[in-house]
């Protein structure tokens, strides 16, 4: 991951989910990754990166289809 402030990365993650989410609020990680790369965010596996932000996003994997598809959704603020 490039050197980037955590708060800046949080903002990009929120923006990526909002831009890529369907009506149900879930965003496809592949679409999010493409969006984040355009914002010059570099990472190994997006799911691992988002794991560091588990307070911000929830991850779900749909393995009923092949290959499995991962999605992220913002966790509502309390």
Say if 24 falls within a structural domain. yes
Residue 41 placed within a domain: yes
Which residues span the domain enclosing 44? 6-74
- The reply to whether 22 falls in a domain is yes
Q: What is the mean pLDDT of residues 34-55?
A: 94
| Per-residue model confidence (pLDDT) at position 52 | 94
Find the mean pLDDT for residues 31-55.
Answer: 94
Determine the average pLDDT of the residues in 3-31. 94
Q: Is the pLDDT score of 3 beyond 90?
A: no
Domain membership flag for residue 1:
no
**Mean pLDDT throughout 50-60?**
96
For the chain, how many structural domains are there in total?
Answer: 1
pLDDT score at 2: 46
Residues 6+ away with beta carbon under 8 Å from 72:
17, 26, 27, 29, 32, 50, 57, 58, 59, 60
| pLDDT exceeds 50 at position 27 | yes
CATH number of 54's domain: 3.30.420.610
For the chain, how many residues are written? Answer: 78
């Amino acid at each position: 991951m490039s050197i980037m402030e955590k708060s800046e990365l949080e903002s990009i993650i929120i923006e990526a989910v909002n831009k890529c989410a369907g009506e149900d609020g879930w965003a496809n990680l592949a679409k999010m990754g493409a969006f984040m790369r355009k914002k010059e965010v570099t990472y190994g596996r997006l799911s691992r990166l988002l794991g560091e932000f588990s307070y911000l996003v929830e991850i779900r994997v749909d393995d009923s289809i092949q290959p499995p598809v991962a999605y992220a959704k913002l966790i509502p603020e309390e």
